[in-house]
Amino acid sequence: MTAKTMRAAVVRAFAQPLEITELPMPAPGPNEILVRTEACGVCHTDCHAADGDWPVKPRLPFIPGHEGVGTVIAVGSGVRTFQPGDRAGFPWLHSACGQCEWCVSGHEALCPDAVYGGYTVNGSFAEYFVADARYAPRIPASLSSIAAAPLLCAGVTTYKGLKETKARPGQWVAIVGIGGLGHLAIQYARAMGLHVVAIDVHDEKLNLARQLGAEITANAAANDPVPEVLRMTGGAHGVLVTAPSLPAFRQGVGMTRRAGTCVLVGLPPGEFPLPLFDVVLKGLTVRGSVVGTRADMREALDIAVSARITAHIQRSPLENINEVLNGLAVGAIQGRVVLDLESAPHSLVFEEKAAGNGQRS
């Protein structure tokens, strides 16, 4: 490989294996930075991107990945916030227009003209990526690239979702789905002074939830968790549904306390009918939450450092990306997988006391 090419995982056809190939190294344009990738988290959204199963599809061919972390090696014109040698991230919100009512009011994640990393612009499943310096997060020095990668999507998504519940310290939040997002949500909730109920359908994930500080756990595969949560807490002040499951959405609304808020971040297929009688008579708020803003990202990273929030990580080489995506698609992976682009090729291994084996079913 020459100095002007790079390895990348490319989607050339939807619902087909990604191709590991060599491509020209990108160059930074105005307001952009070129980053040598050290690590990149793998998100369930990458499965949707590769399968093209969302209503708005990426344009083929493209490089997925939106949890990239690495070292800046070049900057484009107009860049004042980064210089070569700094560490930067590649987030889902690659950029926004900066002019619309949502951008100017601090809600740029809702910008109608937003550009999404690894979806509408090439992502970080590659040895190098180009990021918009105005939106790329600076990575704290105390976070390794492997540890920081999952925080750029799973971390900020759950932190923002918890903020949207409006739950205050000392109140109860229920986290439905203790997977790659949910196990981070527990840690953020505890750092925010909240009491946690954890709901899942796998006992091993509930064991992890208790280790991370959940005070009440319930297996939704064994019994309907709603009556138990209502009995033990009076209903959760806030509910965060991370599971891509319509039954989980219904249960989340059902366990929300009167005047409480249920926040949805999972994206299951199908329509979700709300129980309008309960929503109206109990004064419930049901809202969606999508990733987070630049301010949310800074807060999520800062809290992760101060509260020592750590994803349960399995490392993988870039060459194993199809195995990883297959494992995500069938629910065979606990925690988060991070592509390690600095080490020699190796099999999936565990980091930071990760649970489960993360292998393809």
pLDDT of 358 above 60: no
As a whole number, mean pLDDT of residues 47-63 equals: 95
What is the spatial distance between Cα 158 and Cα 135, in angstroms, rounded to a whole number?
19
Least confident of 116-130, 244-258, 265-279, 318-332: 265-279
As a whole number, mean pLDDT of residues 85-111 equals: 97
Instruction: Give the three-state DSSP class for 259.
Output: strand
CATH class of 158-288: alpha beta
pLDDT of 275 above 70: yes
As a whole number, mean pLDDT of residues 173-186 equals: 96
Dump pLDDT digits (tens) for 185-228: 999 999 999 999 999 999 999 999 999 999 999 999 999 999 99
pLDDT of 4 above 60: yes
Give me the pLDDT at residue 73, please. 97
Give me the pLDDT at residue 345, please. 53
Give me the pLDDT at residue 93, please. 97
Q: Where are the domains of the chain?
A: 5-153+293-351, 158-288
Which residue type is seen at 356?
Answer: G
What is the spatial distance between Cα 111 and Cα 95, in angstroms, rounded to a whole number?
9
Look over the chain and give the mean of its residue pLDDT values, rounded to a whole number.
93
Which residue type is seen at 172?
Answer: W
Following CA atoms 262, 265, 266, 272 in sequence, which dihedral angle do they give, to the nearest 10 degrees? Answer: 50
Give me the pLDDT at residue 272, please. 85
What is the spatial distance between Cα 195 and Cα 68, in angstroms, rounded to a whole number?
32
Q: How many CB atoms lie within 10 A of CB 328?
A: 22
Tokens representing 97? 């227009």
What is the spatial distance between Cα 120 and Cα 117, in angstroms, rounded to a whole number?
6
- Strands (E) across the chain are located at 5-10, 19-24, 32-42, 68-75, 87-90, 93-95, 115-116, 128-132, 172-176, 195-200, 216-219, 236-241, 256-264, 285-288, 313-316, 336-340, 349-351
End-to-end alpha-carbon separation of the chain, Å? 34
Give me the pLDDT at residue 3, please. 57
As a whole number, mean pLDDT of residues 342-351 equals: 53
The percent of residues above 90 in pLDDT, for the chain, comes to 88
pLDDT of 270 above 90: no
Is residue 185 within 8 A of residue 155, CB to CB? The reply is no
Instruction: Give the three-state DSSP class for 51.
Output: helix
How many CA atoms are closer than 13 Å to the CA of 322, on its beta-carbon side? Answer: 11
What is the spatial distance between Cα 242 and Cα 7, in angstroms, rounded to a whole number?
32
pLDDT of 159 above 50: yes
Give me the pLDDT at residue 329, please. 87
Give me the pLDDT at residue 157, please. 97
What is the spatial distance between Cα 63 and Cα 217, in angstroms, rounded to a whole number?
38
pLDDT of 24 above 50: yes
Smallest CA-to-CA distance from 68 within 3, 155, 136 is with: 136
* Residue 95 confidence class, pLDDT cut points 50, 70, 90: very high
Dump pLDDT digits (tens) for 279-318: 999 999 999 999 999 999 999 999 999 999 999 999 999 9
CATH code, residues 5-153+293-351: 3.90.180.10
What is the spatial distance between Cα 201 and Cα 337, in angstroms, rounded to a whole number?
21
As a whole number, mean pLDDT of residues 114-139 equals: 98
pLDDT of 343 above 90: no
pLDDT of 62 above 50: yes
* Angle, vertex CA 199, rays to CA 197 and CA 203, nearest 5: 115
Phi, psi of 175 (to 5 degrees): -110, 115
Give me the pLDDT at residue 94, please. 97
Give me the pLDDT at residue 346, please. 46
Tokens representing 280? 């109206």
As a whole number, mean pLDDT of residues 37-48 equals: 96
Instruction: Give the three-state DSSP class for 196.
Output: strand
Give me the pLDDT at residue 344, please. 54
Q: Structure pTM?
A: 0.92
pLDDT of 1 above 70: no
Smallest CA-to-CA distance from 72 within 87, 50, 60 is with: 87
* Residue 33 confidence class, pLDDT cut points 50, 70, 90: very high
* Residue 40 confidence class, pLDDT cut points 50, 70, 90: very high
As a whole number, mean pLDDT of residues 259-271 equals: 90
